[in-house]
Structure 1
Amino acid sequence: MPTKRPLIAIVDDDESMREAIKGLLRSMGFDAEAFSSADDFLRFSHIRRTACLVTDINMPGMSGLDLHRRLVALGKSIPTVLITAFPEKNVRASALGAGIVGCLTKPFGEQVLLDCISSALALNSGEESGS
């Protein structure tokens, strides 16, 4: 039976950014699913299989940071990469904590994003082997 590829979820209200990240991740061999809002992601049936979450901080409704906190509160802590077009030092400081593996400012390079996702996946596999 083939091993499942890591599933990366992208949550961003900016369709061009969402689709660009999804295309990049799929070209790198990941399973990638894109969502236009935090609420859409929370209704996703494979939320537990999600190995990494890439989410915009500033979105209508629930922010990316609030989405991460909601998942933690639900017991579904997913290593998260935050992205934003509006970097604020106080947001970055409060964001970098449990489960947040990076905070990238748009536009960012593909390799920077892939490095953050690699860190997230390493975090995930470390948790699985430690349990």
Structure 2
Amino acid sequence: MTSKKPLIAIVDDDQSVREATKGLMRSLGFDAESFSSADDFLKFPPLRRTACLVTDIHMPGTSGLDLHHKLVALGVSIPTVLITAYPNENLRARGFGPDIVGYLEKPFDEQDLLNCIRSALERGDDVEGD
């Protein structure tokens, strides 16, 4: 019996952040896929297998927050970590909804990201009843 590793999806228009985060996730034993836009992620066939989404808030076209809202509208519940180089306390203070498990400012600490992802995976385990 093979156990599938959790799939972490990274959506960021900044290639260096995208590739560094993908490399970190793989080095920690996760499956990782990266996308340069929200629209590319939405076309990803195994989208529903995504255990955690790490997305930039500010991107050309569909923002990370808009991506989150689209997923919710599609009935897809993916624990999400929002990352941004432009922190906005008003946005953060409003709250994001139950699927948002983290809000990190770039450059973020790897341990902070890992803590958010662990929280997301524990939440997913609760939903599946494992």
TM-score by length of 2: 0.97
- How far, CA to CA, are the matches of 2:93 and 2:25 in structure 1? 27
Per the TM alignment, residue 103 of structure 1 is displaced from its structure 2 partner at its CA by 0.3
- How far, CA to CA, are the matches of 1:85 and 1:50 in structure 2? 24
Maintained 8 Å contact 1:85/1:107: yes
**Unmatched 5+ residue regions in structure 1?**
none
Q: Which amino acid aligns with 2:44?
A: F
- How far, CA to CA, are the matches of 1:62 and 1:98 in structure 2? 20
Question: What's 1:93 paired with?
Answer: 93
CA RMSD across the alignment: 1.0
- How far, CA to CA, are the matches of 1:39 and 1:91 in structure 2? 23
Cα deviations across residues 23-63 of structure 1 (Å, max 9, x unaligned)?
A: 00000000000000000000000101000000000000011
Per the TM alignment, residue 98 of structure 1 is displaced from its structure 2 partner at its CA by 1.4
Look up the SS of the partner of 1:127 in the other structure: helix
Look up the SS of the partner of 2:126 in the other structure: helix
Question: What's 2:36 paired with?
Answer: 36
Bigger Cα displacement from structure 2, 62-71 vs 91-100: 91-100
Q: Which amino acid aligns with 1:59?
A: M
- How far, CA to CA, are the matches of 1:94 and 1:77 in structure 2? 20
What does residue range 59-70 of structure 1 map to in structure 2 within 5 Å?
59-70=59-70
TM-score by length of 1: 0.96
